[in-house]
Structure 1
Amino acid sequence: MKQRSLLALLLLAHGRPVATERLIDDIWGERPPETARKSIQKYVSNLRDSLGAGRIRTIDRGYAVQLEPGELDLGRFEETARSAAAAPAPRAATELRHAFALVVREPLADLRDQPWAETEVARLDELLLMTAEIRHDAELDLGEHRRLIPGLEDLAAKHPYRERFLEQLMLALYRSGRQADALAAYRRGATRLRTDLGLEPSESLRALEERILNHDPLLTPRPQGPPWRRRTRPRYAKRLLALGTALAVAAAASLWIVTAGAQHRSTLGKRIVLLDTRNGKVIAQWPYRDYRFPWVTTGNGKFWLASFTNGFTEVDPRSGRILRRLLPPFGNATNLALPVGHSIWFTGRVGLARYDLRSNRVVARFTPFHPRQGFGLYGIARGAGSLWVASVEQNEVLRVNPRTGAVEARIPVPKPWWLANGNGGLWVSSDSEGLLRIDPTSNSIAAIARVPEPIDAVVVGNGFVWATNSKRGTASKVDRGGRIVATYRTGRGAHEPSFSAGKLWVSNEKEGSLTSIDAATGRLRTFRFGRRLGTEAALGRYVMFAITA
């Protein structure tokens, strides 16, 4: 079993070298025998005899398996899933059927009880489930609702808290003329959520129930004519954020002008919105019901829109065009993301991962903490040649070498959450200590700002660090010494700050408004929508945000 574990660990590295020390830690845990290193050498020798001498190479202080492109089923599956997410429904359905033909049983079926496998099993299971959602969306779009019902009933029963399967089942039943069964499925799922978790169904589920009750004509399947008459960009791809073109909005519904200092109310409903703040024009919008728990960030001059249901999507700020979509390496166990250059770093419950945007694959995974801690890693920042990540349950900020994953320093911080680099060091929000600055030259606390708690998020811009407080409805401006130099009242529920082009942007959730603060003059400008707002991020003159209610 240990030899099989070693082979699995090498294959899961996709040809990248794995250090002998890591193999020993993964296979034997915290108390390896004195003979562990010799056992590794023996297992490698046995595998070379079985697979061929050139298959496993010795590299530095570890080993790497030699793989040809497309040779590993997992690699082929992941590549097909990424390709299908951006494809028209007919091609996506076909490709994903071929992909699932590679899955003959559950991943790592005979190794699931090994301690090292816990993280990988969670990742692979999530990959299969998320890809199944994509496949079902495509097949529903092709009018295959009747055939899908038995499989969706099974999936909804096995994964009662994964609401997307229930939505797909309800839609398939309704399109098959079984409205009563669709509503009954909703009631069963809603009851299970309330009983087991004390949660109400998501807005997307409730909206679908209402549309079924009202016989919404948009729920009716479209007739499928000859292939040359089918739309090349079906509706499901919009829901997946995989289109290469933006969802343009009609000028009459989306254009509203905001003059300097004025406040205007919008007629937009629940949705994700990309706004040009210079002329007040909505560049693109996406239905909010299609995205569970959206979160927006920026990087490399682009917006990135994350969702539990629709992965991680790159959006052009000027046109609203979808540039690419990728599956987060930790699935729904992903916490935050940091786009840097040609990479995106992800934190999650099971570690830290780097996704390479040139090869469109995960190229590094690190676990710089105990893999069984519940929340894992949260806040992430880049600075002073290192990655900095917040380990909430371990009450420390980790300084990580981005090339090797080695932890270079551990700085004790009670309950650290948000991180931001700049203005003299690394800034950390602590649940009990306020706002702290870590000096990267000494890896120690150099300043403390007694910003009113709770701190919702932290950003750096224009030589200051900014922190929002949703309870007070304020944004605090702090210098590098920890002195609060200004406090701005933006509105109830102030959260999700971002900084761009000399301005701090704040989403005021309960106030239903977006506020910009000129860092130099302190001038405030407010956009009022009259609806509850969620996530937001700014990039120059453009802002992407969510209207949630």
Structure 2
Amino acid sequence: MATAATTRNLDIGGSFRWLSLGTVSGRGRRLVDGRSTSAVPTMAIEISLLGTIEATSGGNAVDLGSPQQRALLALLAVRGGAVVGVDAIIDALWPEDPPLSAAKVVQTYVSRLRKALGQNTIQRRGHGYVLDPARAAVDSLRFESLFREGRAAEALELWRGPALADVAEARVFAQEAGRLEELRLRALERRIDEQLAAGDADTVVGELNALVATHPLRERLVGRLMHALYNAGRQAEALEVYGRARTALVAELGIEPGPELKDLQRRILVQDPGLAPPRHSEAGTELPPGQMHPRRHNRRPRLIAACLGVVAAAALAAAFALTRGAAHAVVIRPNSIVRIDPKTNKVVESIAVGREPSGIVASNGAVWVANEQDRTLSRIDTRTHGVVAIGGLSGVGFVTSDTHGNIYASGWDYPYVWRIDPKRVRVAERFRVRSRAVGVAVGGGSLWVVDRLVNGVTRIDLGRPNSLGFVPVGADPLVTAFGFGALWVANSDDGTVSVIRPGLPRAQTIKVSAKPFGIAAGEGAVWVGSNADSTVTRIDPERRRVVKVINVSSSPLGSDLYNVAAGAGAVWAANASELDVVRIDPRTNKVVARITLGQEPRVIAIDGDNVWVSLAAPGT
């Protein structure tokens, strides 16, 4: 049974705009699809409620102003073209004690929104206002339309985070946010059913683990996880899932599982052949016994289109990797983590996790992975491969650990860092910073949090968590690493690294290659990965100056370098578009190996002689 986490509201001031980070985190959205029978024409104004409240005009982000002004737009968008009376607006914006000038303030908000979105987008009707559906498209309405048409996978692509995330706690929006979340879960269940029917059980196990962790009493999700595990050849684990669900239902609700779940358990126990997925050929006819259906992956076009033939060939060659010299093979799939043996430079293990795994850290016999699309954190036991997922996080993409084994996780779109109790595998504490918490690191007795939108780093003293500091750094900082007695911060917009020494109020600046997306401290140096030119820059930590720039791409078009790590006697770089991990010898500063994975490597973690890599589907 979950316990409430302690919240430390370390809000150290500062104002900021909510911005869409879809480009940076690899998440996109689409409001219109010409194939839909209910498709709407492309509109200049697009309003997004499936996440934080955002709007674009002609593809450009619109500043929606104050939180109440944003809430007013959300209220009009939620009503879907219906008139909202001024009294209802006042009740929504000031539920307890509206000011005497409330009606006048509403007029001011409407005027400002019209200026931002176009004069006719919000129209006056009687004693109220309406958002003109002919001029503004709303993603939640598009989601419901696609869901009704049975296009669950496309509908789910519109989601960027919890619905109405920045206003969902307000009474007037809570019911709508809950309704949309229920529809999202139903869409997920439908899409997972389609994948299970197609024989894709291995792929959905990690996602279902995360969903069941977030919704442990939702029997339909529990049943789907049991079914997926059974079809993946993991019958014992499927029965364990049933046992945990029954225990939770009895303990929290005092009820036994429903008849459908009980029947599924019985069918698994007797190995009912009806649980196996149907096997179909490309044309839809059944395949002969023993013939397997080829897997098909939809990949988005990339900037390196000229290299697609090479990448596809490499992906095919890397579909399997030999394990520890054994005769069987490791299947490398998206939404997984793999372990590379640095002695052989071969993949020796692959473990399914949630969707779009990114940040990863290894600590005390476990690997922790941030699943961006699921908004969950997975803990993988490196001995048993058992996976436990933590749900309920607003957003997560970065993880680190301290010497006590505590795990710290942050996301792209929110000002929070969560501390995870590694023994109970649950959120124990939450910290808040000024804007958006991205990269995190621990060192010098402090938790360091990259505070993206205010171009700085927040320092949280782990001995006195209410004691904190703030150090300005370069433009658009993303990731950080602690080592050699200092914090090193990669600033993506101005191509610099900021060096912060504990106790000093100002950072030193080192110029590096453009768009540094990765940074690591170890193997005698600080290593910085450049996304723009696919190089790894070596910095001497004593002299704090660049001593070498190493090219890691095998293509003149670049490799879309995403991350670097140092350890196990080498430096490792993740080339996202080339679908490989590069090994650099720190003694010679030369590339000595390329490990082809066939999936998109995101983040690398070193644990002794083990190199762990999170993998997403190519193009995500």
TM, length-normalised to structure 1: 0.53
**Closer/same/farther in 2, CA of residues 209 and 436 from structure 1, 3 Å limit:** same
Contact 1:387/1:400, CA 8 A, preserved across alignment: yes
Summarize the alignment of residues 201-240 of structure 1 with structure 2, pairs less than 5 Å apart: 212=194, 216=198, 231-234=235-238
**Which of these residues, 150, 156, 180, is aligned with residue 184 of structure 1?**
150
SS in 2 for 1:406: coil
SS in 2 for 1:346: strand
For residues 433-468 of structure 1, the C-alpha deviation after alignment (integer angstroms, 9 at most, x for no partner) is: 6011112132322x3221011111211012311110
SS in 1 for 2:150: helix
Q: Which residue of 2 aligns with 1:526?
A: 594
For residues 377-414 of structure 1, the C-alpha deviation after alignment (integer angstroms, 9 at most, x for no partner) is: 11211222222111112222122112432343221123
For residues 34-79 of structure 1, the C-alpha deviation after alignment (integer angstroms, 9 at most, x for no partner) is: xxxxxxxxxxxxxxxxxxxxxxxxxxxxxxxxxxxxxxxxxxxxxx
Q: Does 1:342 find its partner at 2:405?
A: yes
> Which AA in structure 2 matches 1:413?
V
Higher mean displacement: 517-526 or 462-471: 517-526
Structure-1 separation of matches of 2:562 and 2:583: 12
Q: Does 1:458 find its partner at 2:523?
A: no
**Closer/same/farther in 2, CA of residues 461 and 188 from structure 1, 3 Å limit:** closer
Contact 2:371/2:397, CA 8 A, preserved across alignment: no
> Which AA in structure 2 matches 1:354?
R
**Closer/same/farther in 2, CA of residues 387 and 528 from structure 1, 3 Å limit:** same
Q: How far did residue 316 of structure 1 move? A: 4.3
Structure-2 separation of matches of 1:350 and 1:518: 37
Summarize the alignment of residues 159-174 of structure 1 with structure 2, pairs less than 5 Å apart: none
**Closer/same/farther in 2, CA of residues 477 and 406 from structure 1, 3 Å limit:** same
Summarize the alignment of residues 465-544 of structure 1 with structure 2, pairs less than 5 Å apart: 465-480=526-541, 481-491=543-553, 492-524=559-591, 525-529=593-597, 531-539=599-607, 540-544=609-613
Higher mean displacement: 506-515 or 425-434: 425-434
**Structure 1 stretches lacking a partner, 5+ long:** 1-10, 31-109, 116-157, 171-180, 197-201, 225-229, 241-251, 260-264
Q: Does 1:545 find its partner at 2:614?
A: yes
Q: Which residue of 1 aligns with 2:349?
A: 284
SS in 1 for 2:152: helix
Contact 2:565/2:573, CA 8 A, preserved across alignment: yes
For residues 4-62 of structure 1, the C-alpha deviation after alignment (integer angstroms, 9 at most, x for no partner) is: xxxxxxx9666x9x9xxx89x99xx99xxxxxxxxxxxxxxxxxxxxxxxxxxxxxxxx
Structure-1 separation of matches of 2:488 and 2:390: 29
Contact 1:423/1:479, CA 8 A, preserved across alignment: no
Summarize the alignment of residues 289-368 of structure 1 with structure 2, pairs less than 5 Å apart: 291-300=355-364, 302-308=366-372, 309=374, 311-317=376-382, 319=383, 321-323=384-386, 325-327=388-390, 331-340=393-402, 341-348=404-411, 349-368=414-433
Contact 1:505/1:537, CA 8 A, preserved across alignment: no
Higher helix proportion: 1
> Which AA in structure 2 matches 1:463?
G
**Closer/same/farther in 2, CA of residues 472 and 538 from structure 1, 3 Å limit:** same
Q: Which residue of 2 aligns with 1:386?
A: 446
Larger RCO (CA under 8 A, 6+ residues apart): 2
Structure-2 separation of matches of 1:436 and 1:346: 22
> Which AA in structure 2 matches 1:233?
E
Contact 1:311/1:325, CA 8 A, preserved across alignment: no
Structure-1 separation of matches of 2:467 and 2:540: 29
> Which AA in structure 2 matches 1:421?
F
Q: How far did residue 497 of structure 1 move? A: 1.0
Contact 1:266/1:529, CA 8 A, preserved across alignment: no
Summarize the alignment of residues 96-107 of structure 1 with structure 2, pairs less than 5 Å apart: none
> Which AA in structure 2 matches 1:334?
V
Structure-1 separation of matches of 2:192 and 2:406: 41
**Closer/same/farther in 2, CA of residues 368 and 189 from structure 1, 3 Å limit:** closer
Q: Which residue of 2 aligns with 1:256?
A: 322
TM, length-normalised to structure 2: 0.48
Q: How far did residue 302 of structure 1 move? A: 3.6
Structure-2 separation of matches of 1:547 and 1:314: 17
Q: In percent, how many aligned pairs have the same letter?
A: 19
SS in 2 for 1:234: helix
**Structure 2 stretches lacking a partner, 5+ long:** 15-91, 98-137, 164-183, 202-222, 229-233, 245-317, 554-558
For residues 503-544 of structure 1, the C-alpha deviation after alignment (integer angstroms, 9 at most, x for no partner) is: 111111112211111222334211124554333333324333
**Closer/same/farther in 2, CA of residues 478 and 216 from structure 1, 3 Å limit:** same
SS in 2 for 1:472: coil
**Closer/same/farther in 2, CA of residues 443 and 297 from structure 1, 3 Å limit:** same
**Closer/same/farther in 2, CA of residues 456 and 161 from structure 1, 3 Å limit:** farther
Contact 1:274/1:543, CA 8 A, preserved across alignment: yes
Q: Which residue of 1 aligns with 2:33?
A: none
